[in-house]
Amino acid sequence: MLFRSETFERLNAIGIAPESLTAILVTHEHTDHIAGLQPIAKKLDIPIYLSRLTMPAIPWADGFMPKLEPFAAGASFPIGDIDVTSFTIPHDAIDPVGYSFKAEGLKFSIATDLGYMPDSVRFHLRESDVLLLESNHDLEMLKVGPYPWAIKKRIMGRIGHLSNEVARKFVQDHLNSRTSTLILGHLSAHNNHPAIVEQCARMALDERGLAARLVVAEPNQPTESFVY
């Protein structure tokens, strides 16, 4: 079967067969996160997990209704042999969440699309072996960049996106020594650069004396698979 979705192309590029997926988890309803959701759901016919308040915000065209598995934000639930925990994040969506995944003694956490780092989010990121954290924009690049001021203000706000500086400070002050792989992602294509992200995070890791592997997930590029 041929898959034309960009998501499938990226999976194939890193050697993961789309047919091997058993579930999809949605963080929130913004277009950049669900643009490929409907064709993927149609092709694979697998369960889609999302918060109960997010569920009605996602349109399904042509009468198609996928296998939805709604949950209350903050709930934990199993998917196969993986224990999933959702947690609320501060973003300008209806009911946005991040996730932590535990299996075979390992923990992987993801937190993107959040305007700041509340204690509750830091709590859920503790003891992560692998952490995917947002490092969305360089503040000075954003200020002089092409976006209208209203959008710049939204991005910089407490329900917007994490800057490189906020991500750096989290690494410097709160990253757990157990974390062996730190992935910085959701980089703005217009208001950031991978080299800046890497420099900021590397300085913080060195100041802490942490040996975590640093990976910068570049825009429009498939990220490698991580095997433990």
pTM over 0.85, yes/no: yes
* DSSP reduced 3-state for 1: coil
The residue type at 153? K
Tens digits of per-residue pLDDT, 80-110?
999 999 999 999 999 999 999 999 999 999 9
Tens digits of per-residue pLDDT, 25-41?
999 999 989 988 988 88
Strand 82-88: give its sheet, edge to edge.
Answer: 76-79, 82-88, 97-103, 106-111, 130-134, 181-185, 213-216
Tens digits of per-residue pLDDT, 138-183?
999 999 999 999 999 999 999 999 999 999 999 999 999 999 999 9
* 73 Cβ contact partners less than 8 Å away, ≥ 6 residues apart: 51, 52, 53, 86, 87, 88, 95, 97
